[in-house]
């Protein structure tokens, strides 16, 4: 196997920047445009930034935890990095593609690796109609918001909103309400990854709603369409003893 061409990327935190300096002093590295693998130093937020930045090149990303939350990261160690990269197991992810139309008719598109979330902008609850594959599945959801999460994102905001953790290869997406008022007992749904979901904002002028794809926000939306983008592939690398599927499984048994 040819030697990997490593590029290091680090969050702005002191811990991440210091780790980058030490690793660059120890291992051969190249500029990002010449790399065959990126080692990302930070937390899950920085991992998302790195994945978005390298979407077009589809470079594999190996994260090491130098941030706050490290669910998508491997443990940090300066020892044996090249051997760890050679032994790392790839996990393929497909992001969600959001198409948002605001109340003025302007369209914005964005990709989400974790989730697309709709959130109320004012003191009044949002009213949202949910379509799945062109069929109205919920005529009116009164809520603070609603989100649709990928398996990789199911343990993030989705879990905080009491949505299910989804195994990485389950082939489903989690549709989860955020503080649902009516219907009060609706806890969401699991949808096949091929599902096309549309959110129609009712009384959009009176009850404004924003749509967020990871960290791209569109204000005052009238309609939001979400579907998995199978043409875009992301590769995360994990140490064999620290693989993402096992971590998601373990997360479901935590007290």
Q: What positions carry a catalytic annotation?
A: 44
Q: What 3-state DSSP class applies to 121?
A: coil
CA-nearest of 146, 150, 169 to 112 is: 150
Query: Is the separation of the CB atoms in 74 and 244 below 8 Å?
Result: no
Residue-level length of the chain? 255
Query: Is the separation of the CB atoms in 113 and 93 below 8 Å?
Result: yes
**Alpha-carbon torsion angle 30, 232, 108, 158, nearest 10:** -100
Q: How far is CA 130 from CA 87, 135, 222, 223, in A?
A: 44, 8, 12, 10
Q: What 3-state DSSP class applies to 246?
A: helix
């Amino acid at each position: 196997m040819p030697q990997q061409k490593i590029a290091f990327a680090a969050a702005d935190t002191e811990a991440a920047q210091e780790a980058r300096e030490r690793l660059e002093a120890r291992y051969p590295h190249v500029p990002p445009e010449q790399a065959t693998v990126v080692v990302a130093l930070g937390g899950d937020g920085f991992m998302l930034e790195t994945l978005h930045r390298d979407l077009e090149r589809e470079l594999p990303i190996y994260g090491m935890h130098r941030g706050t939350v490290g669910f998508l990261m491997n443990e940090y160690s300066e020892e044996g990095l090249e051997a760890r990269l050679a032994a790392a197991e790839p996990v393929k992810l497909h992001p969600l593609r959001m198409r948002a139309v605001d109340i003025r008719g302007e369209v914005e598109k964005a990709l989400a690796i974790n989730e697309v979330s709709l959130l109320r902008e004012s003191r009044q609850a949002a009213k949202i109609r949910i379509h799945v594959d062109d069929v109205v599945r919920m005529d009116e959801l009164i809520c603070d918001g609603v989100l649709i999460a990928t398996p990789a994102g199911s343990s993030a905001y989705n879990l905080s909103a009491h949505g299910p953790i989804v195994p990485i290869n389950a082939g489903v997406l989690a549709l989860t309400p955020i503080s649902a008022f009516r219907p009060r007992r609706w806890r969401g749904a699991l949808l096949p990854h091929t599902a096309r979901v549309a959110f129609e904002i009712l009384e959009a002028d009176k009850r404004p709603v924003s749509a967020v794809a990871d960290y791209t926000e569109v204000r005052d939306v009238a309609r939001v369409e979400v579907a998995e983008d199978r043409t875009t592939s992301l590769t995360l690398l994990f140490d064999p003893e620290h693989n993402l599927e096992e971590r998601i499984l373990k997360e479901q048994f935590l007290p």
